[in-house]
Structure 1
Amino acid sequence: MGYLPNERLHHLKQYSYKGIDKSILSKYILNPFWTWFVTLWPTSVAPNTITLSGLCMVVINFLTLLYYDPNYLTEKGGVQIPQWIYFTWGIGLFLYQSFDAIDGKQARRTGMAGPLGEMFDHGCDALNTTLEAMLTAQALNLGRSWWTFASQAATLANFYLTTWEEYHTGYLYLGVFSGPVEGILIIVGIYIVTALLGPSIWDTPILDFLHLSHIPLISSTIPNIGLNVSFMVFGAFMMAFNILNSYANVRVAMREAGKSTIKPLLFLFPFLFSAGVQLAWIGHPKFFDAAGNEFTILESSLFVPFMCAWGLSFAHQVGKMILAHLTKGPFPVWDWVFLASVVGAVDMNLPRICGIPPIIQSTPRTTFLYVYATLLISFIAYARFCTLVINDITNFMGIACFTVRKKDEEGVWRGTEEVKANGEGMKKVV
């Protein structure tokens, strides 16, 4: 038995991609480049192979982070990453963006356009969201901090919001300033600056950097925060803008369909709940290890696996949402994969809730085991979800995932050009 029931699979036949791109940068500069870039790929390469190749570059970037700074101490914690590494992060992210942009063009070139491509594309984007949040915070010298946690929360919120918007409107909107276009290029710029000047440059107070700190009126009204924190504040304003813009699009779509404009807002609660659970867990009361040192997940080497576990759980959450959009299914309100995080958050906050110590995570060692168990559960759950969904869609649609092949009317796997030629031949005979 597959993951999807037959009645939902049949909605895949009605799929058609609908997107609105208002980005000037995308339209006049990047799209001409992408149109040329896709011609470098032979039509024997499947679109999903291109998408996965782009994600692999980001994964390699993340592995270099783990190699040089496994405990995520950053430069302010005394870890020096060779500055040329940041160049590779910028190149890898730019190529990821380019590969992500041309997979749809390659799908049309090869006759492989369809719902599987959108599902696969969103899945890779969901994983990239967490990886880039961690890489960017490292390049900005934020390290293990609430700013890094907030950065990932905001990034995931934007991605959730985009998917929520597409579910209710049927369109993928890219505004005048969007994460996949302008947002990625800004991060590429951050990597380049870090490669040239080092991560500590981002700790420079913004007024000192702009040579405005000597002006009393400005210095007394504007906080002289670091450039890295200023970037976080800028991101918060952009997130607020995207929230309002997304809801405006959903509101219009709901009115035109004669549906409630308030009900879609209730479907933002699943993300708020999941993010709140992570906040409660990582914000647990401090306790002491065997040596008498204070211990928290936020300030320990568990910070990276904790954030990765959250990212994988999030990818599972939005994966179910985009699948519901493609198959006309109900909005996925609850996702069981967050249960481990709920247990972890409640357990760690037992001192606040009822004045008793944690039962499961009573020591740094047991906390270590539980966080990594959550990471493993999240990974297995998402891998299982992807495998089952890909199998269901490929079997039902008669298409391959990583090769340019389709099943003909007799159920034989053939290249798309061969299937097309055979189909035209049959029409002539008839």
Structure 2
Amino acid sequence: MSSRPTMTRPGYNQLNRDRNEPRNFLDNIKMNPKFRNAENKVKETLNDMPAILTDLQLKNLDNHKYSCVGNTFLDPIFQPFWRWLVEQIPMNIAPNLLTIIGLIVNVITSTILMLYSPNANEELPRWAVFLCALGLFIYQSLDAIDGKQARRTNSSTPLGELFDHGCDAISTVFVAIAFTVGLQFGEDPWTMFSMVFLAMGAFYTAHWQTYVTGSLKFGTIDVTEAQCTIYLIYLFNSFFGNSIWFYKLPVLNFELRYMPVVVATFGSVSSIFSNINTISKGGKGKNGSSVADSSIVFPVFPLMLFIFLGFSIANKSETIYLDNICLYLLAFGIVWSKITIKLIIAHMTKGEIFLLDSCLIGPILLLLNQYFSYIIPELPVLYFCLVIATADLIKYCSKVCYQICTHMNIYLFKITPPSQPNITSKSH
């Protein structure tokens, strides 16, 4: 991405036109004194929080350059649509605003499925499944054009890449759970557990190899193809109902719903092994180390600790997972999201990876509660795990974004006015 060109301050006539333009709904909200007071209080709170990124990490972020290798099969087919779509977006809409809107839509539609079938074993309303297909399509589309909008508006910064990939991490959790809910895999809970954890493992190893090599690698069959497959399955469900997946194939003698499982498992496992193979060849740093000149192997340990906690807690208890499947997977998925986002940040800022994190408080409490013979009922502890993990994730991401915005003199959800100084960007 080329540097942001030097922009001159708008002339009097331009400023006068801007003043005379009618304000939209969001502008009216922002001008409300109550909104401004709330905004100032949030800024004061974030400013008082301890810094997460060091000065060196922020300096490294300034010099970060987005790099990717490869192209998926469907990306060239979708490109004309994405190019047309971005042209419909007003020039004053920030790229990160597109990303967060897509994520919110995807989270809401996926959560609706979980609420209708919390243990993934109930018939789903067809409208809810169709809504989930639409939500994933909207997320895919907005996620694909946020970078185009950034280039179009000369507002590309490393924060855009970080925000994009962070939202992808959170979306992966909700999509994986909702997908298995749509196939009613609560009746085979350990298959559901494996599919969700494999999806998270594939995403994590993709960014692990990025931390090692400095480039995000895409395969011929990758995220675009996976998303298309999932919302096509949702559409299939919305037309024919969930019950069709229980049809037994006459020759193979197993239920039709296991066909997507085989494909998804093969795709996730192939991706994981491909990423590990790339990692094993050495990194971009000194003597084959990571971009941060650290061990290329160490990022596996936070992942293994997460998997150990997730499996051992579910396996030891007779009820915590089997009676609360979606809640359990969502709680651990939020924990995984923070671990993965920290890996993404470590790559972009050339920072270190640490084994322990505050997001593990909930899972560790669940483990200790089991060790001490369930002195507290498990369900309240599981809810506490979800709440504290979500709060911890929001707090962490908010502070990181605030630090970067302050450092680069940019806004998160608003395009920086041309008259304000902005960092020379080398990001996507």
TM, length-normalised to structure 2: 0.81
The amino acid that maps onto 1:284 is K
Give the secondary structure class of the aligned counterpart of 2:217: strand
- Given the alignment, which residue of 256, 259, 262 partners 1:227? 256
Structure 1 residues 16 and 155, CA gap change in structure 2 (3 angstroms): same
Shift of 1:258: 3.4
Shift of 1:183: 0.5
Distance 1:377 1:67 in 2: 20
1:341 is the counterpart of 2:363: yes
Distance 1:255 1:327 in 2: 14
Residue number in structure 1 paired with 2:354: 332
- Given the alignment, which residue of 360, 365, 375 partners 2:375? 360
1:298 is the counterpart of 2:327: no
Structure 1 residues 395 and 194, CA gap change in structure 2 (3 angstroms): same
- Given the alignment, which residue of 382, 389, 395 partners 1:384? 395
Contact kept? 2:71, 2:218, Cα under 8 Å: yes
Distance 2:143 2:116 in 1: 27
The amino acid that maps onto 2:129 is Y
- Given the alignment, which residue of 50, 56, 64 partners 1:7? 56
Distance 1:22 1:391 in 2: 33
Shift of 1:334: 2.7
Structure 1 residues 308 and 67, CA gap change in structure 2 (3 angstroms): closer
1:398 is the counterpart of 2:409: yes
Structure 1 residues 231 and 63, CA gap change in structure 2 (3 angstroms): closer
Residue number in structure 1 paired with 2:26: none
Residue number in structure 2 paired with 1:264: 296
Shift of 1:396: 0.2
Shift of 1:195: 0.8
Shift of 1:151: 1.5
Shift of 1:388: 0.5
The amino acid that maps onto 1:298 is Y
Contact kept? 1:278, 1:345, Cα under 8 Å: no
Contact kept? 1:16, 1:114, Cα under 8 Å: no
Contact kept? 1:142, 1:148, Cα under 8 Å: yes
Distance 2:56 2:374 in 1: 45
- Given the alignment, which residue of 305, 313, 317 partners 1:281? 313
The amino acid that maps onto 1:68 is Y
Residue number in structure 2 paired with 1:120: 163
The amino acid that maps onto 1:189 is L
Q: How many corresponding residue pairs? A: 370
- Given the alignment, which residue of 349, 373, 376 partners 2:384? 373
Matches within 5 A, 1:239-258: 239-254=268-283, 258=287
Structure 1 residues 135 and 22, CA gap change in structure 2 (3 angstroms): same
Shift of 1:248: 3.2
Shift of 1:247: 2.5
Shift of 1:154: 0.8
Shift of 1:239: 2.0
Matches within 5 A, 1:314-333: 314-333=336-355
Residue number in structure 2 paired with 1:95: 138
More off after superposition, 158-167 vs 54-63: 54-63
Structure 1 residues 234 and 167, CA gap change in structure 2 (3 angstroms): same
Give the secondary structure class of the aligned counterpart of 1:280: helix
- Given the alignment, which residue of 85, 88, 101 partners 1:40? 88
Structure 1 residues 42 and 272, CA gap change in structure 2 (3 angstroms): same
- Given the alignment, which residue of 69, 72, 83 partners 2:119? 72
Structure 1 residues 19 and 346, CA gap change in structure 2 (3 angstroms): same
Identity fraction in percent: 29
Q: Which runs of 5+ in 1 are unaligned?
A: 214-218, 287-295, 351-356, 406-414, 424-430
Residue number in structure 1 paired with 2:13: none
Residue number in structure 1 paired with 2:224: 181
Distance 1:240 1:256 in 2: 27
Give the secondary structure class of the aligned counterpart of 2:287: coil
Residue number in structure 2 paired with 1:85: 128
Contact kept? 2:98, 2:146, Cα under 8 Å: yes
Give the secondary structure class of the aligned counterpart of 2:106: helix
Contact kept? 1:45, 1:404, Cα under 8 Å: yes
Distance 1:243 1:149 in 2: 17
Contact kept? 1:204, 1:226, Cα under 8 Å: yes
Shift of 1:181: 0.7
Structure 1 residues 256 and 379, CA gap change in structure 2 (3 angstroms): closer
1:198 is the counterpart of 2:209: no
Shift of 1:384: 0.6
Aligned-CA RMSD value: 2.3
Distance 1:311 1:112 in 2: 31
Shift of 1:347: 3.3
Shift of 1:73: 4.6
Distance 1:259 1:67 in 2: 47
Distance 2:362 2:312 in 1: 13
Structure 1 residues 17 and 173, CA gap change in structure 2 (3 angstroms): same
Distance 2:64 2:306 in 1: 30
Q: Which runs of 5+ in 2 are unaligned?
A: 1-49
Contact kept? 2:206, 2:272, Cα under 8 Å: no
Give the secondary structure class of the aligned counterpart of 2:254: coil
Shift of 1:263: 4.8
Distance 2:270 2:87 in 1: 36
Q: Which runs of 4+ in 1 moved over 6 A?
A: none
Contact kept? 1:281, 1:346, Cα under 8 Å: no
1:21 is the counterpart of 2:70: yes
Give the secondary structure class of the aligned counterpart of 1:24: coil
Distance 1:82 1:237 in 2: 29
Distance 1:115 1:18 in 2: 11
Shift of 1:38: 0.7
